[in-house]
Amino acid sequence: MVQLPVTEETFAISTISLVRIRQNAVIFNGRFPNSGDGLHYTLNDNVNWLAAFWPGMLWLAGANNDDPIYRETAVSLLPTFSNRLDQQVHITHDLGFLFSLSARAQWQVTGDEAARQLALRAADLLADRFRQPGQYIQAWGPVGEVERGGLIIADTMMNLPLLFWASEQTGNPRYYEAAYHHAQISRQYLIREDGSSFHTYFFNQETGEPIAGRTHQGYSDDSLWARGHAWMIYGFALAAQWCNEPLFLDAARQTAVAFLNELPEDKIPLWDLRLPAHETPYRDSSAAAIAACGLFRIAQLDNDSQMYAQGEELVAALIHHCLETDPAGQGLLKHGALHVPKGWAADEYIIFSDYFFLEALLTLENRNPDFWGPTNKD
| Catalytic residue (choose from 94, 272, 354, 370) | 94
The Cα 36–Cα 17 span in angstroms is 17
Torsion of CA 302, 304, 310, 314, to 10 degrees: 50
The Cα 123–Cα 91 span in angstroms is 12
Contact flag: residue 116 with ligand GLY (CB under 6 A) = no
Shortest CB 328 distance to ligand GLY, Å: 27
End-to-end CA distance of the chain: 13
Sequence-distant (6+) residues with CB within 8 A of 203 are: 133, 134, 136, 150, 151, 152, 209, 210, 211
Shortest CB 155 distance to ligand GLY, Å: 4
> Which CB, 49 or 189, lies closer to ligand GLY?
49
Sequence-distant (6+) residues with CB within 8 A of 226 are: 259, 269, 270, 271, 272, 273, 284, 287
Shortest CB 218 distance to ligand GLY, Å: 11
What is the chain's alpha carbon radius of gyration, rounded to the nearest angstrom? 19
The Cα 378–Cα 376 span in angstroms is 6
Q: Which residue is nearest to ligand GLY (CB)?
A: 155
> Which CB, 184 or 217, lies closer to ligand GLY?
217
Residues 30/76, Cβ–Cβ less than 8 Å: yes
Decide if 155 is catalytic: yes
The SS3 call for residue 133 is coil
The Cα 56–Cα 101 span in angstroms is 5
> Which CB, 131 or 227, lies closer to ligand GLY?
227
Shortest CB 225 distance to ligand GLY, Å: 9
Q: Residues 39-68 vs ligand GLY: string with x where CB under 6 A?
A: ----------x-------------------
> Which CB, 75 or 95, lies closer to ligand GLY?
95
Judged by CB under 6 A, the residue of 28, 155, 157, 318 near ligand GLY is 155
Residues 225/203, Cβ–Cβ less than 8 Å: no
**How many residues bind to ligand GLY according to rule CB under 6 A?**
4
The SS3 call for residue 18 is helix
Decide if 284 is catalytic: no
Contact flag: residue 148 with ligand GLY (CB under 6 A) = no
CA-CA distances (angstroms) from residue 203 to 130, 131, 186, 222, 305?
13, 11, 12, 17, 39
| Catalytic residue (choose from 66, 155, 302, 370) | 155
> Which CB, 75 or 252, lies closer to ligand GLY?
252
Contact flag: residue 227 with ligand GLY (CB under 6 A) = yes
Shortest CB 195 distance to ligand GLY, Å: 20
Shortest CB 191 distance to ligand GLY, Å: 17
The Cα 127–Cα 179 span in angstroms is 8
Shortest CB 271 distance to ligand GLY, Å: 10
> Which CB, 25 or 292, lies closer to ligand GLY?
292
Q: Looking at the annotation, which residues are catalytic?
A: 94, 155
Site for ligand GLY, rule CB under 6 A: 49, 155, 217, 227
